[in-house]
Structure 1
Amino acid sequence: MTSAALWWPTVLGIVALLAFDYFFHVRRSHVPSLSEAAVWSSVYVGIALLFGVGVLVFGGATMGAEYFAGYITEKALSVDNLFVFLIIMTSFRVPRADQQKVLLFGIAISLIVRTAFIFLGASLINAFAWVFYVFGLVLLVTAGDVIRPRDSEERSADNVMVRLSRRFLRTSEVYDGDRLFTMVDGRRVMTPMLLVMVAIGSTDILFALDSIPAIFGLTQNVYVVFTATAFSLLGLRQLYFLLGGLLDRLVYLSYGLAAILAFIGVKLILHALHENNVPFINGGEPVSVVEIGTGLSLGVIVGVLVVTVIASLTSAKGRAVNLVSAARRHATEYLMCETDPAVRESIFRDLLAEEAQLRRLPEKYRARIRAEEELMALLRRVHDDHEASALGR
């Protein structure tokens, strides 16, 4: 049992890091440079690793291994969540300079929701041993859903909460920086930024339903569960801008996550059988099964992630998917999100570079890209718009 003397400094420290991130980085709207994103991503990962070393030293090898296994798993799931955040930003046409506040809001809401789920999960586990069966089955079902083939359009930002918000909340047609309210024709109205916040917040609830059972499959120490989850979320904003188009190139990450979730699901069910008191299973008596240790769990998680990331980054398919997604995103930003001429020109240069790389892909990939009529039409619109703008100048 972790004492309040340890809980309070930990919680205050995490809140202080979130406040620091807001006042020193997010308060002023800007697009973080690659170096800024890299430095601060490294800082937050370094803080998480140092904290893990402290857990290892003061809590022992088992507790330390549980923390690192939980942190790595939650970090991997958080990176997968960034795909959805990217889709939400694109769907709502959020200008890149204003995306930081949305991301930090999402991180804060996610931390609150997951903390509530952590304590709820811990209470259920303490009261009902059969909850491990439920968590295990949830993870196995989730693993099957994660591995199901789907494209970006299926991972829609338009969920029930967003549809209800669109119906009952009247918003303006355009953004006013990162403000939630603006003045239109002398009236105070809400901006589309409010709908973006609703989309991010509601998806955070769905993410928590996957991530909390996963980490409880690695440790039932509530302090370790909370800290591993919190530190995996801190720095996620910087990671979003650091990875950028690389997110789309991690084409095999979903397979790795599915394998990890299925592995933890099996681990939970084995643990449930070992602690069994369900009357219709073995007469309510524990079942003699082999349990999976924390050290093996950590090794499997790290190994699966390393293999899937390397396979994604070195594959021709990953390169093709990355270029197509980046070109589509830059074309959308150029036409629909950005109004600053200098920013639009920078985006157009990036798009030209991506198109040049697309032309150097193997013919089988180029043929598939040419067959995407919507993408080709979008790219033609960008070139026509850029040519018209150049003539206008």
Structure 2
Amino acid sequence: MESFQTIGSPIMWGGFIAFVIAMLALDLGVFHRKAHSVSFKEAAAWSAVWVSLSLVFNGFLWWRYGAGPGMEFLTGYLIEKSLSVDNIFVFVVIFSTMKVPALYQHRVLFWGILSALVLRAAMIFAGVAMLERFHWLIYVFGAFLIITGVKLFIQRNHEEHPEDGWLMRTARRVIPSTPHFDGQHFLTVENGRKLATPLLMALMLVEASDVLFALDSIPAIFAVTRDPFIVFTSNIFAILGLRSLFFLMAGAMEKFTYLKVGLSGVLVFVGAKMALVDVVHLSPAVSLGVIALVLGASIVASLVKARNTPPHAPGSETSSDVSRDTAAPAKS
């Protein structure tokens, strides 16, 4: 039975968790104490903050533990960050179809991502424990990622409709709800009854989408490292920056035509790396280079196509239009 080592001491674990709690408290208690629409400038600033903090932490690992753990963290962070972009496509659809005003979108994402932190921590430790006991699961995870990557490529132009899924249909039957918003509250009272507002329904969809995406992203990082501390910290840094990334990119998602092609390529690559782990051994530097090349090529190809495509093709609705629609309050 293989035993996995970790660079994380109890002090490192405690310090990192305390840092995350402090940043979340600062975010909600100071910078977003009052509900407001997140501007592009604010989103860009917060994105720069989270990326900078991630790179500083990466530099610390590199200095303290050497190039191996440092490269593993950077590769894992890039994988998680790129795969989290797929969440943004779904978030745009959720907020648009449920007509969530831009004023309250940050609140939904904050609580959705807070629960995602707890969920991913549980999934990471469960995954490490299972791989430690059952080595053959590495091949299952690898095959799953390859299949997921191929499926993502085939369905790259498929429109998402999470509001029509079984989760939302079941929730509407089980949870008394109202189609009317009550400020930034998840629950309201109408005619003496406590009802769920559309914000709570949107939160449920955000959390459900993260569960689905975690099924891809957690196994993917195990192709790079199985050190629980590196897996956990790279995941958390990617998730913490997801909200600002959403507000930064939501209005320009239509420009990234080939991004899902790149993401599917990353999934197939890391899946093959896991499936062939006992045959082919790639260094973290090679993995990082391949992943960066695939993602970079898909982004460059997308921007080239966007530049050569008329901005208002007949019959096409851009993500900018969608994001503007979410800013309009729902009519009661």
Compute the TM-score of the two structures, normalised by the length of structure 1: 0.77
- Greater relative contact order: 1 or 2 (C-alpha under 8 angstroms, separation 6 or more)? 2
Q: Which residue of 1 aligns with 2:263?
A: 257
Cα drift, residue 23 of structure 1: 1.2
Please tell me whether Structure 1 or Structure 2 has the larger radius of gyration of its CA atoms.
1
Residue-by-residue CA offset, 1:35-67 (whole Å, 9 max, x unaligned): 111111101110011000111111110111100
Q: Which residue of 2 aligns with 1:220?
A: 226
Measured at CA, do residues 318 and 46 of structure 1 come closer, stay the same or move farther in structure 2, by a change above 3 Å?
Answer: farther
Q: Tell me if 1:120 matches 2:126.
A: yes
* In structure 2, distance between residues paired with 1:217 and 1:172: 44
Q: Which residue of 2 aligns with 1:107?
A: 113
Residue-by-residue CA offset, 1:50-88 (whole Å, 9 max, x unaligned): 000111111110111100000011000111111111111
1:159-308 equivalence runs, <5 A: 159-271=165-277, 274=278, 289-308=279-298
Tell whether the 8 Å contact from 1:178 to 1:193 is kept in structure 2 after alignment: yes
Tell whether the 8 Å contact from 1:249 to 1:319 is kept in structure 2 after alignment: no
Q: Which residue of 1 aligns with 2:329?
A: 337
* In structure 1, distance between residues paired with 2:140 and 2:40: 42
Amino acid at match of 2:319: A
* In structure 2, distance between residues paired with 1:99 and 1:73: 25
Residue-by-residue CA offset, 1:162-200 (whole Å, 9 max, x unaligned): 221111111122111210122323443221211111111
Amino acid at match of 1:234: L
The unaligned stretches of length 5 or more in structure 2 are 1-5
Amino acid at match of 2:287: S
Q: Which has the higher helix share?
A: 1
Q: Which residue of 2 aligns with 1:361?
A: none
The unaligned stretches of length 5 or more in structure 1 are 275-288, 340-393
Q: Which residue of 2 aligns with 1:69?
A: 75
Identity %: 37
* In structure 2, distance between residues paired with 1:92 and 1:128: 43
Cα drift, residue 241 of structure 1: 1.1
* In structure 1, distance between residues paired with 2:280 and 2:193: 67
Amino acid at match of 1:292: L
Amino acid at match of 1:324: E
SS of the aligned residue for 1:245 comes to helix
Q: 1:7 aligns with which of 13, 22, 25?
A: 13
1:13-28 equivalence runs, <5 A: 13-28=19-34
Residue-by-residue CA offset, 1:317-357 (whole Å, 9 max, x unaligned): 885689732364167447x6367xxxxxxxxxxxxxxxxxx
Tell whether the 8 Å contact from 2:35 to 2:103 is kept in structure 1 after alignment: yes
* In structure 2, distance between residues paired with 1:58 and 1:239: 29
* In structure 2, distance between residues paired with 1:161 and 1:203: 11
Q: Tell me if 1:312 matches 2:302.
A: yes
Tell whether the 8 Å contact from 1:93 to 1:333 is kept in structure 2 after alignment: yes
How many residue pairs match? The answer is 322
* In structure 1, distance between residues paired with 2:62 and 2:246: 29
Amino acid at match of 2:318: S
SS of the aligned residue for 2:164 comes to coil
Cα drift, residue 204 of structure 1: 1.3
* In structure 1, distance between residues paired with 2:224 and 2:95: 33
